[in-house]
């Protein structure tokens, strides 16, 4: 089963075009959707999750028409939005049991066994009687995955899932997500480039409602081979370099800005060739198109 998106467009009443003929094919496994805030990621996720309508285009999950057969899609879908509401004073077990009942799992024994199994899978079984208000951020996100896995979904959507998590919680969450992704389609919508590189075999960059890249992280980095250059400069040189070169990123190292620029030929001027990484790809894809080959864009 794969998710096929073709020419999907959405314009809001205020004139903002959130999706502009988006076309993607998403296979089973972990798929990273990268983009800055306002890029159109959440609109795309909500549309796939049947929470809002598209203006035009098509989305198919295997043989299911996502835009028309919403009830069938919801039976195949698990969704963890960026923020999901819970009843804070209810225990994790009681809430998951309630959500399972709403999902249509009516047989009590079967439902209770499933709730225990899911809490065990996300390492929360020993905390099952604890109110969710007492959970850490990582525990809440793991509970979010448990509720998203109710009904054995074929498609799992997670939208900016690690905001506010400490590194340990983030790693535990992603280990769980990687395990899930062995058997289903998992769309990870995020702005954290390193997460996509480490977790996803396929990815897309979306910006301004358009797909700027679709393919593997390794191929994306290969596209920028020989076109990334690095240089350490004084702080008071930063603006002049912004005017002359297409700066992709700036990082302070020992108190001095280390800049990385995109140029199809060597800029000279003290720059050295740098091995491209996925962050270079991300920033170059969302920036304005470069000027003619060999020139240095701002």
- In a domain, residue 155? The reply is yes
Kindly report, residue by residue over 159-173, the tens digit of the pLDDT: 877 766 778 877 887
pLDDT for residue 241 is more than 90: yes
N-terminal to C-terminal alpha carbon distance within the chain = 43
Kindly report, residue by residue over 40-57, the tens digit of the pLDDT: 998 999 999 999 999 999
What CATH number corresponds to the domain at position 185?
3.40.50.300
- In a domain, residue 132? The reply is no
Same domain, 44 and 162: yes
Average pLDDT over residues 287-294: 44
pTM of the complete model? 0.84
Same domain, 18 and 80: yes
Domain range for 282 is 222-286
Kindly report, residue by residue over 263-282, the tens digit of the pLDDT: 999 999 999 999 999 999 99
Same domain, 60 and 176: yes
């Amino acid at each position: 089963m794969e998710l096929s998106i073709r020419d999907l467009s959405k314009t809001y009443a205020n004139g903002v075009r959130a999706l502009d003929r988006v076309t993607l094919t998403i296979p089973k496994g972990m798929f990273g959707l990268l983009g800055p805030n306002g890029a159109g990621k959440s609109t795309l996720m909500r549309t796939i999750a049947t929470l809002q309508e598209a203006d035009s285009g098509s989305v198919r999950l295997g043989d299911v028409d996502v835009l028309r057969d919403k009830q069938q899609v919801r039976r195949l879908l698990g969704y963890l939005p960026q923020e999901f509401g819970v009843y804070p004073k209810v225990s994790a077990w009681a809430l998951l049991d309630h959500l399972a009942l709403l999902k249509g799992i009516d047989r009590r024994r079967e439902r209770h066994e499933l709730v225990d199994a899911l809490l065990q899978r996300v390492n929360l079984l020993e905390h099952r009687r604890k109110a969710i208000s007492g959970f850490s951020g990582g525990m809440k996100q793991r509970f979010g995955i448990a509720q998203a896995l109710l009904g054995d979904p074929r498609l799992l959507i997670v939208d900016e899932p690690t905001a506010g998590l400490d590194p340990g919680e983030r790693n535990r969450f992603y280990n769980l997500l990687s395990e899930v992704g062995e058997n289903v389609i998992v769309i990870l919508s995020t702005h954290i480039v390193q997460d996509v590189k480490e977790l996803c075999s396929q990815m897309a960059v979306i910006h301004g409602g358009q797909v700027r890249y679709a393919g593997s992280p390794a191929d994306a980095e290969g596209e920028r081979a020989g076109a990334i250059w690095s240089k350490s400069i004084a702080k008071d040189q930063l603006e002049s370099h912004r005017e002359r070169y297409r700066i992709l990123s700036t990082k302070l190292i020992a108190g001095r800005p280390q800049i990385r620029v995109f140029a199809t030929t060597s800029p000279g001027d003290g720059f050295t060739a740098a091995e491209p990484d996925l962050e270079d790809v991300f920033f170059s894809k969302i920036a304005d198109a470069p000027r003619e080959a060999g020139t240095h864009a701002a």
